[in-house]
Structure 1
Amino acid sequence: MRRHLLEALFAAAAFLLPAAAAAVQASHHLLNTTGATTSGGGGGGRCNMFRGKWVFDGSYPLYDYSKCPFMYDEFNCLKFRRPDRMYLKYRWQPFSCNLPRFNGLYFLEKFRGKKIMFVGDSMSLNMWVSLSCMIHSWVPNARTAFVRTQGLSEIAFLDYGVKLLLYRTPFLVDMESQKAGRVLKLDSIRSGNSWMGMDILIFNSWHWWTHTGRTQPWDLLQERGKLYKDMNRMIAYYKGLTTWARWINRNVDPSKTRVFFQGISPTHYEGSDWNEPLNSCKGEVQPFWGLKYPAGIPLANVVVDKVLSRIKKPVYLLDITALSQYRKDAHPTYYGRHGLDCSHWCLPGLPDTWNLLLYAALFNK
C-alpha cells in the first residue's frame, strides 16, 4: 500500500515536472531491487561495493569512543550506557570483492595539505565525526585543532596539514528570513561560496525535506521570486537538488576537486518497514537478515539518481541506502540526546562503513 502511494505521488510530481517523468519508470525497478540502486559509483562491472551482506568481525569496532576527542554526545551510545555491544561487531562484506582495510596514516599522507569538506545536515555530521575518529585512532599523538560552531566546523591534523571541515546546511539551497517569514529558496545557493577551494566535497541532503508541523524549519518556499505555502516534498527536493547540480556544473573543476554525494540515509521509525508492525528501532539488537528489505528503496533515491544522471561534472554516489536499511540495530534509540532517535547512528557504528566506502572510492583504481 505504502509503495503504491509513493508511486502515485511521484507520478503526480512527474506531471508537474516533465524532467522527472523518466524517473517514474525507474522507480518501479528500484523499488523491487534486492541491493543498492543502479546509479552511482559501484566500481564498474568488476565490483559493486554497495551490494553485499553484514558479517561478524571480532576485530571491530575500528576505534575506541572514549579516546576520540571529536566525539559528539548525540552519537555516543556507549557513553550513555547502551547495554548491548553486538552492533559494534558487524563488517560490510560486498558480494564480489573486499573493501580495503582503512589506514588513517596512509589517508593523512595521501591528502597532506588538503581540505576535505562535508556539506549537509546531521547525517554529514555523523559521517564527519566518524572519519575524524577513524583517522585519530591511527595517529593518537598527532597535534590537532578542533573548532566547533553551528555553521562551519573544522578538525585539523596539524602535522599533516589535513583539514576536515563540516558545513551545516540541511537543504544545500538557501534559507533566509523575510517579512513573510522563513523562506526556503529552491533556486538559490549563495552559501556555495563557502565550499569553494576544497579538494574533496561530500554532499548530503534529505531528512529535513520531510519535516512538517512544528519541526518544519521554513514557513514558505520560493522559486523564481514566487512564494509557495507548501509543495509536494519530492518536487521540492528535486528542484533543490537541481539547483545544487547547476552549482556543481558552474563551480567545480574536476581536475582540482572530487565530488561525492552521500546518498539517502534511512530511518527506522516504522517497524512495518521490516515486517514488525509494532516496533520502532527501540530494542533492536540485530540487523535485518533478509535478502530484500521489505520497505524497498526510498523514492528519494529516484530523485537523487535522476539529478546525478543529468549532471555534467563527475559526482560519485556513495549508495549507502540499502546496506544501511539492514542496520535497524545501529541507532542511538534512547542512548543519546535526541529522545527516541531512529535517524542518527551510534559511533562507533554504521557511518564508519560509509567512510570505508569513501576510502575505497578514493584509493581503489
Structure 2
Amino acid sequence: MEKYLPNIIQNLNFKSKLALQISIIPLILFILITLQSSNNLSFKRLYSSLHTNHHDNVSKTSSKKCDIFMGEWVQNMDAPYYTNDTCETIHEYQNCMKHGRPDTEFMKWRWKPYGCELPVFNSTRFLEMVRGKSMAFVGDSLARNHMQSLVCLLSQVERPLDNSTTQDENFKRWYYPSYNFTLAMIWSPFLVKAQENDPNGKPGKITFAGLYLDEVDETWAAQIDGLDHLIISAGHWFFRLLILYEKRHIMGCRYCWTTNITEQSVSYGYRNAFKTAFRAILERENFKGKVYLRTFSPPHYEGGDWYNGGYCLRKKPYKSNEINFEGQNLEMYKAQLEVFEEAQILAQKRGLKFGLMNITQTMLTRPDGHPSKYGHWENVNGTRPNDCIHWCLPGPIDSWNDILLEMLKE
C-alpha cells in the first residue's frame, strides 16, 4: 500500500490535495503531542506502569488498599512540630530559619495520599514500636538529613544520649535510654568502595573518585549484623567525576570526556552500586533485619546548576500535574526500582523483608523546601552557593518519617 501512496497523492486535484492536507494536520498534531507526552511522562503514569505487580509499598487502610506514595501536598497549619530552638541537633546546612529565611509557609504542608490518610508522625508510637531495637541510616548527607529530622521529631518525647565513637557528624550514634533504642548514621555516599584520586587536595577542588562497582563499602556492610532496621539511600554523589572499575579494571567513567575511557550514563554506576549493596546485605548470614530503600530525592535547581548560579526560591509545592518526571531524575529512579525488585525476590527466598520508601514523587513536587541561599555552607571564596538538594529542618523531609512510621506497622 505504501508504495502506491505517492502516485495517488500526485494524481489528486488541488482541492482534494488541500482537503487531504487539512485532514492530516490534526493527525500530525496528535502524534506530536503523544510523542511529547511519552518523553515527558507524568509521575502517575510512570508509577502505574512500573508498579503493576508491586505490592510491598502499599499500606492497608480499613478494608481497602491505599498507596501512600501517590498523592498531593495539603496544608497543615499545625506544623511544624519542632523548631530550630527546640531541636539543637539540626545541622547548620539545613537550619534555614537561623540563617534568615523569611517565609514559613514551606513548613505548613503534609503529604496526603489519594483515598486515605497518612497519620502525622507520633513520637511516642514510634518509640514504642522500636523499643529494644536498632535502626541505621546508610548513605550520604540526605540520609543524615533524614536521620536529623527523626531525632528532632523524637525530641518531643525524649532527648537521646550521644553515644558516638567519633566527632565526625557523618557517623553519629544516638541512644534513647527509656526505650533502649539505638539510632545511627553511617556515611557511605556511593555504597561501594570508593577512592579519591587526590585525598589531600585543597578544599573546594573537584577531584575524580574511583568507584569499585563490584566491591561493597565495608565501612557500613561490616556494621549491619544485628540491626533491626536498615534504611539505605544514595544518589547525588553519582553526578561527580567518576572512574568506574569492575574486577579492579577500568571499564568506564562519568564526565571524563577528555580521556580514552568509555563514557557511561549516570545510571550505570548507580544501578551497579545498588546491585552490589543489596548483594552484600543478602550475603550477610547474621543480618536478620528489615531493609528499606529510600528512593532518589530530586534536586530543584532553576536558572543553572549548583556551581553556576542555580537557585530554588519557590514558596509552595507543585500539584502533581504541574511537573513532569523526566531526564536524569527519571533515569536514576528507574535504575533503583529495577535493582530493588530483583533484590526483593532474592530477599524473600532468604526470609528477609525489603521495603520500598518511594518518596520520589513526594519530593519532586516540593521545590520550596530547600535551604537555597539560607544554608550556612560556604565555598573557598566566602560566597554561599544555593543548596537545592538538601531540605530545611523543620520542613518537607519530616514527612519521610510519617511514611517511615507507617511502613513500620507492616
Tell me the TM-score normalised to structure 1 length: 0.81
Of the three residues 229, 245, 268, the one matched with 2:278 is 245
**Residue in 2 that maps onto 1:22:** none
Deviation of the 1:105 alpha carbon: 1.8
- Which residue number in structure 2 is paired with residue 350 of structure 1? 396
Tell me the residue number matched to 1:232.
Answer: 265
Q: CA RMSD in A?
A: 2.7
Q: How far does the alpha carbon of each residue in 1:60-107 deviate from its partner, in whole angstroms, 9 at most, with x for none?
A: 012122111311111110111100000010111111111123221222
Give yes or no for the alignment of 1:121 onto 2:137: no
TM-score, normalised by the number of residues in structure 2: 0.72
Q: Which residue of 2 aligns with 1:15?
A: none
Q: Residues 179 and 70 of structure 1: is their aligned pair in 2 closer, same or farther, counting only changes over 3 Å?
A: closer
- 2:104 partner amino acid: R
Task: State which drifts further: 64-73 or 228-237.
Answer: 228-237
Cα deviations by residue, 1:8-50 (Å, 9 ceiling, x for unpaired): xxxxxxxxxxxxxxxxxxxx69934337733551327700101
Pair 1:288 & 2:304 matched: no
1:43 alignment counterpart: 59
Q: Tell me, in whole angstroms, the C-alpha distance in 2 between the residues paired with 1:35 and 1:125.
A: 31
Structure 2: how far apart are the matches of 1:201 and 1:163?
Answer: 12
Alpha-carbon distance between aligned partners in 2 of 1:326 and 1:245, rounded to the nearest angstrom: 29
Greater relative contact order, per chain length (Cα 8 Å cut-off, separation 6+)? 1
Amino acid corresponding to residue 230 of structure 2 in structure 1: L
Instruction: Name the SS for the 1:91 alignment partner.
Output: strand
Question: Does the alignment pair 1:186 with 2:221?
Answer: no
Which residue of structure 2 aligns with residue 153 of structure 1?
Answer: 172
Secondary structure of the residue aligned to 2:183 is strand
Alignment match, 2:381: none
Cα deviation for residue 151 of structure 1 reads 4.4
Match of 1:66, SS? Answer: coil
Give how far 1:337 is off. 2.1
Amino acid at match of 2:401: N
Q: 46, 58, 68: which one pairs with 2:77?
A: 58
- Shift of the 94–168 alpha-carbon distance from structure 1 to 2, 3 Å rule, reads same
The sequence identity of aligned pairs, in percent, is: 29
Q: Deviations over 1:171-215 (max 9, x none)?
A: 111113689985311011133112222110000011111123xxx
Residues 280, 287 of structure 1: CA spacing in aligned structure 2 closer, same or farther, 3 A cutoff? farther
Deviations 1:237-292 (A, max 9, x none): 111111112112212678x301101111000013699xxxxx95432111113525
Aligned positions, number: 323
Deviation at 1:229, TM superposition (A): 5.4
| 8 Å CA contact retained: 1:36, 1:323 | no
Q: Distance in 1 between matches of 2:224 and 2:232?
A: 10
Mapped to 1, the partners of 2:395 and 2:46 lie a distance apart of 20
Question: What residue identity is the alignment partner of 1:299?
Answer: E
> In structure 2, do the counterparts of structure 1 residues 69 and 36 end up closer, same or farther at CA, with 3 Å as the change threshold?
farther
**Match in the other structure for 2:23:** none
Aligned counterpart, 1:215 = none
Q: Which amino acid aligns with 1:335?
A: Y
Residues 33 and 195 from structure 1, CA distance in 2 versus in 1: closer, same or farther, beyond 3 angstroms?
same
Within 2, Cα distance between the matches of 1:293 and 1:342? 17
The higher radius of gyration belongs to 2
Q: Could you tell me whether the CA contact under 8 Å between 2:59 and 2:406 is conserved in 1?
A: no
Q: Which residue of 2 aligns with 1:33?
A: 43
Residues 29 and 360 of structure 1: CA distance in aligned 2, closer, same or farther (over 3 Å): farther
1:177-216 alignment, distance < 5 Å:
182-189=209-216, 190-191=218-219, 192-212=221-241
Aligned to 2:188: 169
Unmatched runs of 5 consecutive residues or more in structure 2 = 1-37, 200-207, 254-263, 348-352, 378-384
Q: 1:333 aligns with which of 358, 368, 372?
A: 372
CA contact (8 A) 1:271 1:281 kept: yes
Tell me the distance in 1 between the aligned counterparts of 2:320 and 2:198.
Answer: 51
| Secondary structure of residue in 2 paired with 1:298 | helix
Deviates more, 1:173-182 or 1:195-204: 173-182
Change (3 A) 1:94 1:123: same
Hey, which bits of structure 1, 4+ residues long, moved more than 4 A? Answer: 177-182
Any conservation in 1 of the 2:72–2:112 contact (CA below 8 Å)?
A: yes
Matches within 5 A, 1:63-102: 63-102=82-121
Deviations 1:276-313 (A, max 9, x none): xxx95432111113525224462111111110111111
